[in-house]
Amino acid sequence: MADISNTDIKYLPGVGPKKAEILNKEVDIFSVEDLLHYYPYKYIDRSRIYYIHEVDGNMPYIQLKGRITAFETMGEGRNKRLIAHFTDGTGFIDLVWFQGARFITDKYKVNLPYLVFGKPTAFGSKFNIAHPDIDPYIEEKAEQTNLMGYYNTTEKMKTHYLNSKAIQKIMTGALASALPHVFETLPQSIIEKANLLPLKEAIRNIHFPLNPTILRDAQYRLKFEELFYLQLNIFRYTSDRRAKLKGFVFTQVGDYFNSFYEKNLPFELTNAQKRIIREIRQDMATGEQMNRLLQGDVGSGKTLVALMIMLIAMDNGFQASMMAPTEILANQHYITIQEFLFGLGINVELLTGSTKKKKREEIHSGLLTGDIHILIGTHALIEDTVQFGNLGLVVIDEQHRFGVAQRAKLWTKNVNPPHMLVMTATPIPRTLAMTVYGDLEVSVIDELPPGRKPIQTIHQYDKKRGALYNSIRKQLSEGRQIYFVYPLIEESEKIDLKNLEEGYEHICEIFPEYTVCKVHGKMKPSEKDAEMARFVKNEAHIMVATTVIEVGVNVPNASVMVIESAQRFGLSQLHQLRGRVGRGADQSYCILITPYELSADSRKRINIMVESNDGFEIAEADLKLRGPGDLEGTQQSGIAFNLKIADIVRDSQIMQYARDIAKEVIDRDPALENVENQILKRQLRKLGGNRYNWGLIS
Ligand code: ADP
Ligand code: MG
């Protein structure tokens, strides 16, 4: 067995071609090396031996020591079962098998000492353990195998006698023959520096831990390694990209920026806005292509930052473009930006899916000649027919709606890639952002414009609407506007959701003296825009909508956001929706309506919303509730799923440490040419081939 990564598992004792095929198909184990990296998902402490008289109905897996007094077959047909009466002198318990009776009676004998392991269930006044693990009781062995690993197995595996115990047995054989052929995958210097177990020891102990401490060390070593290579790959990729790509150098701040600042800027920038504009300016002057993520809570004023950065691009002779995830939002940006730029002689255009053919052609030529300075739009922007004369900067609003591939496509719009500013109001912790988005630099607007009153969030049960409608009427009479948001209705879903149409009619009845408008995803864009416009102009006082309004709509006069069936929304979505109010100087409210019966998770989400207004706090809580697998963005980048043992949320500290060390390595030896780094290069190549797919990440 020279190369364990090339040795087929079918040659291992206890495997063979048939089981090998199952392992290939079910859990992607092909080589002996794959098998060694198939880690237990949990460990059960077998150091404690219980007495039978202690057993009750609520115990997890337990271990008993005793002997079988007799076997007995009971029941008929499907109910037929083998029972072993088992005692340890403090009581009796039944061990039960529904299959494989012959095997059991051959293997286990009456009156010999055994260790029995399993989960007791109450059966009338007696207890039994179904399909227990049984080992002969040997004095020393009982002390050695304290922590027993459990392996994930599928139904298919189990029907082919590949349960956790069987895997464990195969693993024992594999370790004995393959461990001498396991080679270290990290340089000695890193192992020493990070105080890691050698790989061999880590692998042995992840499967058969001698004690809890060494198990922790083994886990740490393997997690570190996964995260280290992840980070190393990012840095390698970044440094390659930096070497290959030249960024435009924006040296000046000129007339466009300055006249906007002096003449048109309607308010003082917040300190955070100033700081970030400075950061970005510096970043765009280095000669490297900027790739920056701007995180800022809803309402923190990202649009204005984007606009001022676009003006800097123009001051340096370039065009700029801004892409939004929905037509409504693109429209809104277009209107806002035109207002901001009024009278400055800057040509802004809007390109969306519903731009008419003639207008579209005008825009295409205006972009090539450079007559158009700023183009705002939706996905329509990245169509191949859209070519710029001199595109220097692309701003992407609400990143999480765009795939990595779409972002990459924007690069092809120019010989040199434009600078990229990606904005999101769904913040994720910094280390995670860097991992998920590869090499993006991260800026954070951690301050809201002054004079905003924190939004009051109230949880209200379905049935009690009278008081709610009274408070809403009061707001309306003071001239404020109201949103009612319903979950998106999927035709196939039979869940009893308040239908948007019904809701609309109901609200029209309750508030006959006010005008109600309606927006949902199935409307034509032109209809949607018309309805939105009525609300923006305060011709409609109440808007009934699905989540199409989630992203970015700005109506400062709106003061109440009512969210129907709030339990159906995710945390970040709720926070986004809430951000639609609280934009003016008045006290604003967010009302979360739910039924009385709520799942524990839903109740947690609602409580977090009631207690916190802080997007970062909410994002962290969300991540903890949902796990990183759901994190928008990880799906496309395929990161979270390729880690076998590390968890980018739970192990974020290890990741930060691994990142620091990876950075040191690349700083010193960007192309990994030094002798001691050959091991890294080899390993990266190997991982790149099957586990990580990094080429896609920009
Ligand atoms: P978001 O970060 O959610 O995209 P916006 O850019 O839509 O936030 O800004 C929210 C509102 O705050 C807008 O009406 C905007 O004009 C206003 N705003 C932005 N910056 C400031 C500031 N420095 N002072 C006062 N209001 C501001
Ligand atoms: Mg915005």
| pLDDT tens string 267-292 | 999 999 999 999 999 999 998 888 88
Q: Does the predicted TM-score (pTM) go above 0.85?
A: no
Domains of the chain: 48-145 (2.40.50.140), 255-284+301-424 (3.40.50.300), 456-612 (3.40.50.300)
Q: What is the largest CA-CA distance in the chain?
A: 98
* pLDDT bracket for residue 636 (50, 70, 90): very low
The pLDDT of residue 425: 76
Ligand 2 geometric centre to CA of 138 (Å): 67
Q: What whole-number percentage of the chain has pLDDT above 70? A: 88
* pLDDT bracket for residue 436 (50, 70, 90): low
The pLDDT of residue 697: 34
Is 267 close to ligand 1, i.e. is its CB under 6 Å away? yes
Mean local confidence (pLDDT), 366-382: 92
Mean local confidence (pLDDT), 653-658: 88
Helix (H) or strand (E) holding 373: none
Is 585 close to ligand 1, i.e. is its CB under 6 Å away? no
Structure-token match 């808007």, residue found: 543
Ligand 2 geometric centre to CA of 304 (Å): 9
Ligand nearest the Cα of residue 299 is 1
Ligand 1 geometric centre to CA of 301 (Å): 3
Mean local confidence (pLDDT), 243-269: 91
Ligand nearest the Cα of residue 296 is 1
Residue 97 — φ and ψ, nearest 5°?
A: -130, 135
Does residue 11 carry a pLDDT above 80? Answer: yes
The pLDDT of residue 299: 81
Note whether 654 and 223 are within 8 A (CB). yes
Q: Please, what's the b/e burial string for 657-668 (b: 16 or more CB within 10 A of its CB; e: otherwise)?
A: bbbebbeebbee
The pLDDT of residue 24: 94
Helix (H) or strand (E) holding 102: helix 101-107
Contacts of 479 (CB under 8 A, 6+ apart): 557
pLDDT tens across 513-558, in order? 999 998 887 778 788 878 888 998 999 999 998 876 655 567 889 9
Mean local confidence (pLDDT), 363-377: 95
The pLDDT of residue 497: 44
Lowest-pLDDT choice from 93-97, 257-261, 424-428, 644-648: 424-428
Q: What whole-number percentage of the chain has pLDDT above 90? A: 49
